[in-house]
Amino acid sequence: MYTATELIPSVCDIISRLLPSTEVPLTEATSLPRLQGFDSLFIANLLESLETLLEIEIEPALLLPEAFETPQSVAELFVRSQNQANSK
């Protein structure tokens, strides 16, 4: 079990690897849609990387724009999925 706060560094690491940038380091509140390179392929790669790392598959119904606003919201998406999986 992990919390969103614990997940944020991993989320930021993966984003930095997928969209290498020398801009100000990513924080939990960085706006992802404003990053250059934020496109369908980036979203798919980010999801796949996190799903592999955390060994969890996100329900499609949760994959909405608001879940990809910031590293914080991405982490919360995975925590929500983890909690749903555990409650089943």
Partner 1 sequence: MWIHERVFERAWQQPERTAILLHQEQWTYRDLATKAETLARSFLRLFEPGTRVALHMTKSPQTVALMLACLRAGMTYIPIDPRCPVERRDLMLEDCQAKILVLDKFTCPNWCAQPSAISSLALVISPQKIPLAAVTQLSFEELLATDTPGTEGDPYPTIMANTLAYLLYTSGSTGIPKGVQITHGNARAFVDWAYEQFDLSIQDRVAVHAPLHFDLPVFDIYVGLAKGATLYLVDEQTALFPEAMYRFLFTQSITVLYAVPSALTALLKRSSLRHQNLPALRYLLYAGEEFHPVALRTLLSKMLKARVFNLYGPVETNVVTYLEIQPEYLDLPRIPLGHPTSTTNLLLVGEHLQIVEEGEGEIVISGPGVTPGYLNQPEQTEATRCMLLVGGSEQICYRTGDFARRDSDGLLHFLGRRDSLIKTRGFRVEIGDVEAALLKLTGVDEGAVFALPHTIYTHLLYGFVAVRARKNASEAFLLQELRERLPSYMCPQRLFLRQELPKTSTGKLARRELQDELKSLLLENKEEVSKIVHSN
Q: What residues line the site for partner 1 (CB under 8 A)?
A: 16, 19-23, 33, 36-44, 47-49, 52, 60-65, 68
In one letter, which amino acid is 49? S
How many Å separate Cα 66 from the centre of its chain?
11
Tell me the helices (H) and strands (E) count for the chain, helix number first: 3, 0
Q: Which is nearer to partner 1, 3 or 37 (CB)?
A: 37
Q: Is 52 or 83 the residue whose CB approaches partner 1 more closely?
A: 52
Nearer to partner 1, 29 or 44 (CB): 44
